């Protein structure tokens, strides 16, 4: 009796799985393109033209164009609202730089140059020992 119950249970599960697959297969219908991409259209036009030339027939481009462009869709662009931005800025006069004496300016520039030379020396020769003694001061 247990075996009969197990077999029935397995059959029910298999039937349910099969029904689910069949239902899924019914809902999946192939989707066909309603329009050709520009590449597909160009390939088709090329093949048409090649075929007509092989047959010796004349090509009427207007006729060909009209047969495929019967419905021209008007592009509708969404309306874009650009917020207004104030273009007038509060112009403030820049603060004049404090007057520094020539002697002070020379000292500042010399200190900057010394720092650059010391960094370069440290990169090339390292620090400590004899290299430290020859380092720019």
Low-confidence residues in the chain, pLDDT < 70: 1-6, 23-31, 58-61, 64-73
Give 108-126 pLDDT, tens digit per residue: 999 999 999 999 988 888 8
Q: pLDDT at position 106, please?
A: 93
- Flag whether 114 is in a domain: yes
3 within some domain:
no
With respect to residue 121, please indicate whether it lies within any of the assigned structural domains: yes
Residue 108 is given by DSSP the state H
Does the CA dihedral 84-90-91-94 come out positive or negative? negative
Question: Does some domain include residue 125?
Answer: yes
Which residue range is the domain that position 112 belongs to?
102-134
Number of structural domains found in the chain: 1
Whether 108 is covered by a domain: the verdict is yes
Q: According to the model, what pLDDT value does residue 56 have?
A: 76
How far is the C-alpha of 83 from the C-alpha of 85, rounded, in Å? 6
Q: Is residue 124 part of a domain?
A: yes
């Amino acid at each position: 009796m247990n075996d009969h119950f197990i077999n029935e249970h397995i059959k029910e599960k298999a039937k349910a799985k099969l029904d689910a697959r069949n239902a899924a297969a019914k809902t999946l219908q192939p989707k066909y393109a309603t329009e050709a991409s520009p590449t597909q259209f160009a390939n088709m036009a090329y093949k048409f033209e090649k075929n007509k030339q092989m047959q010796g027939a004349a090509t009427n481009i207007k006729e060909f164009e009209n047969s495929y462009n019967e419905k021209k869709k008007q592009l509708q662009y969404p309306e874009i609202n650009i917020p207004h931005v104030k273009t007038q800025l509060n112009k403030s006069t820049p603060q004049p730089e404090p007057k520094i004496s020539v002697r002070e300016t020379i000292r500042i520039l010399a200190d900057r140059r010394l720092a650059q030379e010391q960094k370069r020396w440290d990169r090339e020769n390292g620090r400590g020992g004899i290299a430290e003694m020859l380092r720019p001061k």
